[in-house]
Amino acid sequence: MSEKDGEPTDGAPADDELTAEQIDAETPGVDDAAELEAAEDQVADEAAADEDKVVATPPRRRRTGSRPANRAADADRPGEGTRTRAAAERARAAELREKRSIGRFLREVVAELRKVIWPGRKELITYTTVVIVFVAVMVALVAGLDILFAQGVLAVFG
């Protein structure tokens, strides 16, 4: 069996590749491998879109005698070189304003709340009871220690 780029040529899956059944078995909460793959594709698309936002600077060129040596002369020629620091800062500030918008924040909050698995009535009653009992035990413990230390202080210092 020969392999090319990690893929076997006889149609069998590669050693590091999982079948749909294996993915279904290993991912609780996901019923279908296709659903998981669609979500992974969406994350990959978002990552690719974020990579496009990176500003790349061109490689530095060696200055020759025919080219002006000062930056002021370079700035007079539009379309060449990199953008100015002020322009880069303005672009970054505009991007930050977009990221910090209230509308985007609220959309993300709603999206996160849709992911929450809310407890049912029975679970809610159980959790509430556990919390109340735990708090009551801690209050009794602290109150008992307070009374004990108060009695000790009164016994020692009269």
Give residue-wise pLDDT tens across range 14-31: 556 777 677 666 666 656
Please write the tens of the pLDDT for every residue from 87-142.
888 888 877 777 777 888 899 999 999 999 999 999 999 999 999 999 999 999 99
Contact 1, 7 (CB under 8 A): no
Confidence of residue 10 (pLDDT cuts 50, 70, 90): low
Higher pLDDT, 25 or 4: 25
> Residue 31 and residue 36: Cα distance in Å, rounded?
9
Whether pTM > 0.75 for this model: the answer is no
Higher pLDDT, 145 or 50: 145
Residue 33 has pLDDT above 80, yes or no: no
Q: What pLDDT, on a 0 to 100 scale, did the predictor assign at position 14?
A: 57
Supply 7's token pair.
Answer: 């893929």
Q: Which residues touch 8 (CB under 8 Å, ≥6 apart)? A: 1, 14
Residues recorded for the chain: 158
Q: What pLDDT, on a 0 to 100 scale, did the predictor assign at position 113?
A: 94
Confidence of residue 153 (pLDDT cuts 50, 70, 90): very high
Residue that is written with structure tokens 């879109």 in the block: 49
Structure-derived torsion over alpha carbons of residues 119, 122, 123, 129, reported in degrees to the nearest 10? 130
